Amino acid sequence: MRESQAAEARPYHHGDLRRALIDAASRLLEAEGPSALSLRAVAREAGVSPAAPYHHFKDKGELLDAVAHEGWDLLDGALAKAKKEAPSPEAAMNNLGVAYVCFARENPALYRVMYDTARDREDLPDQMQGDKDSAYCKVRDTLIEAGADAQDTLDLELATTAAWCSAHGLAEMAGFKQFEHLKEACGGEIPFLRAIFRHMGLVPHHHAD
């Protein structure tokens, strides 16, 4: 337990260096921010040479992809929890939004890595958008439960996308100093988020008529 806090005794072959590298990267990311995430620093933190990671990742980008992947899993878990605990579909929509933004605000460096890697390839991860039980589907299903017309698929997809964009936009803007006084006026960060979401109108405007 000399070098930082990798595994125990360090045999020449690490055992699971891939895991150790992702963990080291996450640790560094949380402690020092995204700019400190160099391949060399990660290798240092894991107690191996700068070239060792190349046996587990094609390049630095692939390491970041792996870190981001875990981040999306965490976010998906937070969203699933928020949806499950909501008493009504309308509350679920709001709780999903709040949970999304809270995740981003509590893990700003990770959230940034997640979006930067996604944006670089112009492709959202399947956990969020492609898979059958992706976060996107969670939001869409909640909208239906809240009264959206499940038949009008285009409108439904637009509403889901709109909700997602709103949450992402709020997640990125909530960190700016300019909004501090608004948070105070609302009585804290979460009331502030709920107030903003109210203005964004996440829940459908009574399409059922």
**Residues at the contact surface with DNA, assessed by CB under 7 A:** 11-15, 17, 37-41, 48-52, 54-56, 59-61
Among its own copies, DNA, none, residue 13 binds (CB under 5-8 Å by kind): DNA
Q: Residue 89: CA atoms inside 13 Å, Cβ hemisphere, count? A: 13
Using the minimum distance from each CB to its own copies, give the nearer residue, 73 or 120.
Answer: 120
Q: Give me the count of residues in the chain.
A: 209
Tokens (6 digits) for 50: 């700068």
Beta strands in the chain (DSSP E): none
Using the minimum distance from each CB to its own copies, give the nearer residue, 52 or 200.
Answer: 200
The DSSP output letter for 52 is G
Mapped onto helix, strand or coil, the DSSP state of residue 204 is coil
Among its own copies, DNA, none, residue 187 binds (CB under 5-8 Å by kind): none
Residue 19 beta carbon to DNA: minimum distance, rounded to whole angstroms: 10
Report the alpha-carbon distance of residue 30 to residue 32 in Å, rounded: 6
Residue 153 beta carbon to its own copies: minimum distance, rounded to whole angstroms: 9
Contacts with its own copies, residue ranges (CB under 8 A):
115, 118-119, 122-124, 129-130, 154, 157-159, 161-170, 172-173, 175-179, 182, 185-186, 195-197, 199-201, 205
The DSSP output letter for 77 is H
